[in-house]
Amino acid sequence: MTAEAHRRRAFWQILLIAAGLLVLTVISAGSVYLVNKAREDSKWVIHTIEAENQINALLLEIRRAESSARGFLLTQGPDFQSDHEKAVASIIPALDKLTRQIGDNPAQRENIEKLSAAIELRLDQFSREMNFVKQGQPEQATALIREAAAGNTTTTIGNLANAMIREEERLFRIRTANSDRSQTLAASMTGIGSGLVVLLALISTWLVRRSARARDEAEARMRDANANLEAVVDERTADLREANDEIQRFAYIVSHDLRSPLVNIMGFTSELEELGGDIFRRIGGLTHVPADGPPPADGQIALEGPDQQLSADFSEALGFIKSSIAKMDRLISAILNLTREGRREFQPEKVDTRELIEAIVTTLAHQASEAQAEIHVEPLPNLVSDRLALEQIFSNLIDNAIKYLKNGVPGEIRIRGRTKLGYAIFEISDNGRGIDPKDHQRIFDLFRRAGTQDKQGQGIGLAHVRALVRRLGGTMSLSSELNAGSTFTITLPITWNASNRNADK
């Protein structure tokens, strides 16, 4: 499959996913809206039914109060009196509840005001009727009943209640229609959305099957192309190891062979220094020979003028040569040590890391005391690793921390550790002079140093440390700023076993 075909397929897949997300979003939003609207419409339908039932309940209590009042008037029985009092006590709460229920409708609020006035009038009539009966004046009670009947109070209450019921029935029809319409729309949207989802699913299935076929074909071609990949990798790995060994042998041979001419140069430089002394003594002798006498004895001649300057320049040049020879000798020794260490096979063993580092700190106690530095060793995780490599790693880092402290500032070096996901993480921090962020990578290169060069060194230590850490299957990082101290972080596997032994060789 061509790159263009891959791009087209990726484009259509992305477009399909976007379309599916858009459809699902629209369906979800629409469904939520319509479901909420249908729920709201249903709530209003139920509200209308409850209001209508409350009107009927209020009418029932009023009729119950009237019938019990008449029964009490005719029989003066206590049961009728009790029933009448219960009915009258229920009328006001029922009226209040109805008032709250229909408060959203202006027309019903006007009706409820009229109804409340009529009910209050009728309740007053009930109270007077019952008082006349209790006082033994049934004629007065009967007259009051006729007066109430003539005033059509009960009829007014019934008419107002019926008008309110008709209004609620009208609202019921409207709200029922709205609820049905919302539910129909919700069902329609759900059906349409489901259809679109099914369609998109079918298209997705087709594209996935097509992609799967293309992937299977690509995998088949890859299997054919990489049938001998493992053998090729093994061969390349063997070549790489052989090349690495060859480089180490070459570095060893070159550095070893350089030592012979360097020794010769050192010897001839010493001879040249002695010869120079003889030459300048002779020059001085020739310069100070008296006209009528023998030359002065050796060692008693002082050079003057150009001869003295020439002697000083000669001595200075020899000093530079000897200094360069000494530096080259140290570099050759360091290269030899590196090549020997590179050929050493690591031997994993259980190491008490805290004990190992405390031993290193003890050996560096004199340097730490001279630098006025305190070294704090916190609890550290134990490892299964190469002891000698660990000693070299931590010795170099602690020694550097002591060496590069700030002058005049008491040093504080802290070594701490923790474990995470099968690895041990060590941090060696100090409050020293720090390292400029632009030199964080530079200091790990061979023969490269950073900052003020006021301490002895060849620029090999940190490069060697990082190489050891990598051979142990770990990583090394630095966090530092100028005049703010440094923190070297070493991450090593807790258990370094034979499966990764000498993996980099």
Closest CA to 432 of 367, 481, 365, 490: 481
Mean pLDDT of 335-344: 62
Residue 143 in this model has a pLDDT that exceeds 90: no
pLDDT digits (tens, 9 = 90+) for 146-176: 776 666 777 888 888 888 888 888 888 888 8
Gap between the Cα atoms of 178 and 181, Å rounded: 5
β-strand pairing of 475-480 with 411-420 = unpaired
pLDDT, residue 223, reads: 76
Predicted confidence band of residue 302 (pLDDT cuts 50, 70, 90): low
Looking at per-residue confidence, does 355 or 103 come out higher? 355
Q: Is the dihedral of CA 132, 134, 137, 142 positive or negative?
A: positive
pLDDT digits (tens, 9 = 90+) for 289-299: 554 545 555 45
Share of the chain above pLDDT 70, in %: 77
DSSP 58-89: HHHHHHHHHHHHHHHHHH--HHHHHHHHHHHH
pLDDT, residue 504, reads: 43
pLDDT, residue 457, reads: 53
Predicted confidence band of residue 356 (pLDDT cuts 50, 70, 90): very high
Amino acid of residue 161: A
Gap between the Cα atoms of 63 and 67, Å rounded: 6
Amino acid of residue 4: E
83's CB contacts (< 8 A; 6+ apart) are 64, 68, 71
Q: Which CA distances in Å does 441 have to 378, 450, 463, 476?
A: 28, 10, 10, 11
Asked if residue 411 lies in contact with residue 405, where contact means CB atoms within 8 angstroms, the answer is yes
pLDDT, residue 35, reads: 75
Predicted confidence band of residue 455 (pLDDT cuts 50, 70, 90): low
pLDDT, residue 503, reads: 43
Amino acid of residue 452: T
Mean pLDDT of 49-61: 85
Please provide the average confidence, as pLDDT, over all residues in the chain.
77
Residue position matching structure tokens 């858009």:
22
The 10 Å CB-count burial string (b at 16+, else e) for 50-64 is ebbebbeebbebbeb
Mean pLDDT of 43-60: 85
pLDDT, residue 501, reads: 47
The 10 Å CB-count burial string (b at 16+, else e) for 105-136 is beebeebbeebbebbeebbebbeebbebbeee
Gap between the Cα atoms of 446 and 239, Å rounded: 24
pLDDT, residue 394, reads: 92
pLDDT, residue 229, reads: 67
pLDDT, residue 358, reads: 92
Predicted confidence band of residue 505 (pLDDT cuts 50, 70, 90): very low
What count of Cα atoms within 13 Å lies in the side-chain half-sphere of residue 308?
Answer: 5
Mean pLDDT of 127-133: 78
Mean pLDDT of 124-140: 76
Residue 345 phi, psi (nearest 5): -90, 130
Residue 436 phi, psi (nearest 5): -60, 135
Mean pLDDT of 338-348: 68
pLDDT digits (tens, 9 = 90+) for 78-87: 888 788 788 8
pLDDT, residue 435, reads: 84
Mean pLDDT of 472-480: 89
pLDDT digits (tens, 9 = 90+) for 194-205: 787 777 777 777
Mean pLDDT of 64-71: 80
pLDDT digits (tens, 9 = 90+) for 3-44: 676 677 677 767 777 777 777 787 778 777 877 877 887 888
Please give the model's pTM, rounded to 2 decimal places. Answer: 0.42
Predicted confidence band of residue 104 (pLDDT cuts 50, 70, 90): confident
Instruction: For residue 480, give the 3-state DSSP assignment.
Output: strand
Residue 217 in this model has a pLDDT that exceeds 90: no
Looking at per-residue confidence, does 90 or 275 come out higher? 90
